[in-house]
């Protein structure tokens, strides 16, 4: 069996193992070991190669960014800042047609800029926004669809754990990826808001005929004080993290440390975090970080195995010979990502596809930062599509309303998946949306 055949068989084996329930890191490590064993006909040599990959994969200072941003996101979630952002957004947008949906999108966008975790956003705003929208007269499908759709902003608007993972896999600057995500994040947020307005106006059978609350008090000293008390912590955190990164003051790891410390101080100041809760959050951060590091180690093993098979070089030469050009490659690449999104979770998709796509993209002269933003957005579409739809399952699990079925949540998310696809097309056609700030 040739190296190319072993590489192709390994891809199929990984997909089968993951889809049958095996953890993605275990599947990657297992297939990598047996793949190298078959290639070299030596189990000891395979073990040594993978041992070396394990030692080298997470020894970089850059990996400190992972636990720091995870800690910041968990503290922000526990400090109820999601509720504060929704309250502030509702005061300004709630009276508009579809205002509660727009408030959810706006609040999720702000919440995303200080958490970086889509699942956290989905869980938080299911509890906060869905009951409010249903109480106002929106349908359960629309209410849950808004939450599922806007939750993906957690991985698109920096900081983002998926961008960190891509940066590690592609050996690209995480700070540059964060900055490149700002434009696409704003674009998708605007598309969602416009889409909500259009759906409420022209598709009331889907959205429900909501009655906007009579008024929201945004004037007067008391209202100003209340808004400021809720908005100021958010502004401070965003300014610390993104301002420091964009201004070149902090490295991504330092920005994560400053953000985590700022989130802890704000949570204590608002009396929403006790020492016992902080210890629990720290333990949870350790668990999540260990899982992420395990994924990165397994991905490094997989990349080494693929390099030994020669499959990336073969694919590069084959695609270049087809002369499909940059946009032809991107079309097939996005199609594969979206298709895999119906079967696998986001990190699994990136760990499998990015090592294969990078050599081809480099041979075609594609900017790898731009490719990273395209990858993250295409992968995130998979969070909304059946049968996997991780964010959909999170929202359904967090719902207290048995009248809203899983099918309802998937149907509610479908328009937002199409809007995301439209945003992705714009980002592909106009790279400056991503790269304009770099």
| Residue 424 confidence class, pLDDT cut points 50, 70, 90 | very high
pLDDT at 220: 56
pLDDT digits (tens, 9 = 90+) for 51-91: 877 776 666 666 677 788 778 877 877 777 777 777 777 77
Number of domains in the chain: 1
pLDDT over threshold 90, residue 300: no
For CA atoms 374, 164, 157, 152, the dihedral sign is: positive
Nearest to 356 by CA among 404, 409, 403, 303: 303
**What percentage of the chain exceeds 90 in pLDDT?**
10
The range of the structural domain enclosing residue 408 comes to: 3-435
pLDDT over threshold 60, residue 6: yes
| Residue 426 confidence class, pLDDT cut points 50, 70, 90 | very high
Report d(CA 324, CA 353) in Å as an integer: 19
User: What pTM value is reported for the model?
Assistant: 0.79
| Residue 430 confidence class, pLDDT cut points 50, 70, 90 | very high
pLDDT digits (tens, 9 = 90+) for 200-221: 888 888 888 766 554 455 555 6
Task: Give ∠ CA 434-437-438 in degrees, rounded to 5.
Answer: 90
Mean pLDDT of the 266-276 span? 82
Nearest to 173 by CA among 249, 243, 252, 247: 252
**What is the DSSP secondary structure assignment for residue 364, as one 8-state letter?**
T
By CB neighbour count within 10 A (0-12 exposed, 13-18 middle, 19+ buried), where does 432 fall? exposed
The residue assigned the tokens 């008390």 is: 229
Intra-chain end-to-end CA distance of the chain, in Å: 46
Cβ(405)–Cβ(213) under 8 Å? no
Report d(CA 358, CA 354) in Å as an integer: 6
pLDDT at 60: 65
For the chain, the average pLDDT equals 81
pLDDT digits (tens, 9 = 90+) for 368-389: 999 999 999 998 887 787 766 6
């Amino acid at each position: 069996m040739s190296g190319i055949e072993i590489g192709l068989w390994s891809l199929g084996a990984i997909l089968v193992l993951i889809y049958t329930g095996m953890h993605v890191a275990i599947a990657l490590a297992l297939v990598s070991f047996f793949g190298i064993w078959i290639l070299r006909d030596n189990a000891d040599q395979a073990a040594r190669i993978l041992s070396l990959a394990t030692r080298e994969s997470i020894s970089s200072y850059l990996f400190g960014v992972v636990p720091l941003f995870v800690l910041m996101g968990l503290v922000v979630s526990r400090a109820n800042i999601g509720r504060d952002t929704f309250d502030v957004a509702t005061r300004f947008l709630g009276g508009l047609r579809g205002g509660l949906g727009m408030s959810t999108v706006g609040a999720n966008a702000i919440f995303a800029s200080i958490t970086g975790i889509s699942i956290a956003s989905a869980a938080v705003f299911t509890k906060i926004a869905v009951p409010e929208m249903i109480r106002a007269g929106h349908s359960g499908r629309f209410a849950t669809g808004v939450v599922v759709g806007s939750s993906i902003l957690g991985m698109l608007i920096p900081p983002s754990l998926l961008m960190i993972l891509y940066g590690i896999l592609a050996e690209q600057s995480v700070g540059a990826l964060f900055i490149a995500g700002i434009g696409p994040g704003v674009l998708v947020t605007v598309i969602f808001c416009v889409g909500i307005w259009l759906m409420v106006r022209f598709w009331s059978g889907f959205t429900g005929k909501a009655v906007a609350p009579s008024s929201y008090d945004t004037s007067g000293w008391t209202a100003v004080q209340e808004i400021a008390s809720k908005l100021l912590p958010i502004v401070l955190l965003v300014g610390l993290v993104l301002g420091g990164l964009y201004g070149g003051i902090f490295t991504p790891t330092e920005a994560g440390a400053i953000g985590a410390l700022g989130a802890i101080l704000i949570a204590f100041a608002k009396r929403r975090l006790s020492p016992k809760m902080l210890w629990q959050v720290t333990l949870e951060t350790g668990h999540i970080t260990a899982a992420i590091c395990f994924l990165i180690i397994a991905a490094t093993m997989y990349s080494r195995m693929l390099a030994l098979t020669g499959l990336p070089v073969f694919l590069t030469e084959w695609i270049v010979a087809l002369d499909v050009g940059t946009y032809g490659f991107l079309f097939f690449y996005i199609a594969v990502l979206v298709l895999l999104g119906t079967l696998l979770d986001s990190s699994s998709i990136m760990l499998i596809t990015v090592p294969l796509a990078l050599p081809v993209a480099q041979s075609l002269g594609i900017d790898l930062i731009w490719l990273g933003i395209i990858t993250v957005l295409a992968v995130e579409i998979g969070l909304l599509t059946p049968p996997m739809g991780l964010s959909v399952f999170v929202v359904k699990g967090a719902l207290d309303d048995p009248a809203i079925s899983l099918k309802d949540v998937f149907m509610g998310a479908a328009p937002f998946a199409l809007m995301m696809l439209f945003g992705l097309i714009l980002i592909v056609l106009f790279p400056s949306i991503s790269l304009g700030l770099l």
